């Protein structure tokens, strides 16, 4: 997809609930939406647990947002992130959001942003609650991204994922030979869930289909990719 020079993406990081080790793949994933011009990380920077983030803020051009722990058990970080996100939304010059957190408290925020037709990419750990995952346009498991970068291993398609791919294929327009456009299949799968191939160890959708024996993958002249269910 070709991006306009006006694509302006905001990445908001809940440093208390996100691993600094995933920042590289997160920024790479957000490049699909446009240029990440707004980069903010929220937390109490006096905490030793945030040292990993503090060490890389300048390297990645991330603006630290200090939030003191005024009352035990109350999370001022979540509130400040939500307020800033709504401010950015209402200014009207942000075309996409990335929310880096494993906290389900951001589910209402993701849903509200999407109601304005703005895509929201969520980035969290494997333990992230399903509510936040599904509230995002796409949710990407940062633990999987980090593991894939380190090991460079192929992914795996389980039964649940296979059903999603079959259902998306069946809902797609097919030509006289039964082939459906891969891009349409991927779009339908994404509309039905926060599906993203990177959660399964793949870098591209076509790589995933190449490993599924029940699909025939056809690369056509002009760069188009088409898939057909064999059984």
Q: How confident is the model at residue 2 (pLDDT cuts 50, 70, 90)?
A: very low
> Whole domain around residue 127: which residue ranges?
8-151
Least Cα distance to 158 among 194, 205, 212 occurs for 212
| 169 & 193 share domain | yes
1 by Cβ neighbours in 10 Å (0-12 / 13-18 / 19+) ranks as exposed
Q: How confident is the model at residue 149 (pLDDT cuts 50, 70, 90)?
A: low
Would you say residue 177 lies in a domain? yes
For 54-92, the DSSP string reads HTTTTTTTPEEEE----STT--HHHHHHHHHHHHHHHHT
Of 10-14, 78-82, 93-97, 218-222, the least confident = 218-222
| pLDDT at 148 (0 to 100) | 65
| 130 & 166 share domain | no
Residue 4 confidence (pLDDT) above 70:
no
| pLDDT at 5 (0 to 100) | 46
The structure tokens 């259902």 sit at 167
| pLDDT at 146 (0 to 100) | 77
| 224 & 165 share domain | yes
Q: Kindly state the DSSP code that residue 138 receives in the 8-state scheme.
A: E
- The total number of structural domains that make up the chain: 2
Mean pLDDT of the chain: 87
| 106 & 122 share domain | yes
Q: Distance between CA 49 and CA 69 in Å, rounded?
A: 14
Would you say residue 179 lies in a domain? yes
Would you say residue 170 lies in a domain? yes
Query: What tokens does 7 get?
Result: 């694509």
Other Cβ atoms less than 10 A from the Cβ of 80: the count is 18
| 53 & 163 share domain | no
Task: Identify the helix (H) or strand (E) that includes residue 9.
Answer: strand 8-14
pLDDT tens sequence across 168-220: 999 999 999 999 999 899 888 877 666 788 888 888 888 899 888 899 999 98
Domain boundary among the residues 126, 151, 176 is at 151
Helix (H, G, I), strand (E, B) or coil at 17: helix
- H-state helical runs in the chain: 23-30, 51-54, 76-91, 107-115, 130-135, 142-151, 159-170, 182-192, 205-210
Q: Which range, 64-68, 75-79, 191-195, has the best average confidence (pLDDT)?
A: 64-68
Share of the chain above pLDDT 70, in %: 90
Give the global pTM: 0.74
Q: How confident is the model at residue 99 (pLDDT cuts 50, 70, 90)?
A: very high
């Amino acid at each position: 997809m070709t991006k306009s020079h006006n694509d302006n993406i905001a990445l908001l990081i809940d440093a208390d609930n996100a691993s600094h080790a995933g920042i590289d793949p997160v920024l790479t994933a957000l490049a699909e939406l446009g240029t990440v011009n707004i980069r903010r990380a929220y937390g109490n920077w006096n905490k030793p647990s945030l040292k990993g983030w503090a060490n890389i803020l300048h390297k990645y051009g991330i603006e630290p947002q200090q939030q003191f722990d005024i009352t035990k058990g109350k999370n001022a970080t979540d509130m400040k992130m939500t307020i800033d996100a709504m401010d950015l939304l209402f200014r009207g010059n942000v075309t996409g959001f990335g929310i880096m957190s494993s906290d389900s408290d951001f589910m209402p925020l993701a849903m509200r942003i999407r109601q304005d037709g703005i895509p929201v990419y969520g980035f969290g750990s494997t333990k992230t609650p399903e509510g936040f995952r599904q509230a995002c346009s796409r949710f990407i498991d940062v633990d999987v991204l980090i593991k894939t970068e380190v090991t460079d291993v192929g992914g795996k398609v389980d039964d649940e994922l296979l059903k999603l791919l079959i259902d998306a294929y069946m809902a797609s327009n097919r030509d006289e030979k039964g082939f459906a456009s891969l891009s349409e299949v991927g779009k339908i799968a994404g509309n039905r869930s926060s599906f993203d191939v990177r959660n399964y160890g793949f870098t591209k959708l076509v790589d995933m289909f190449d490993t599924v024996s029940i699909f025939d993958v056809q690369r056509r002249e002009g760069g188009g990719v088409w898939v057909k269910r064999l059984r």
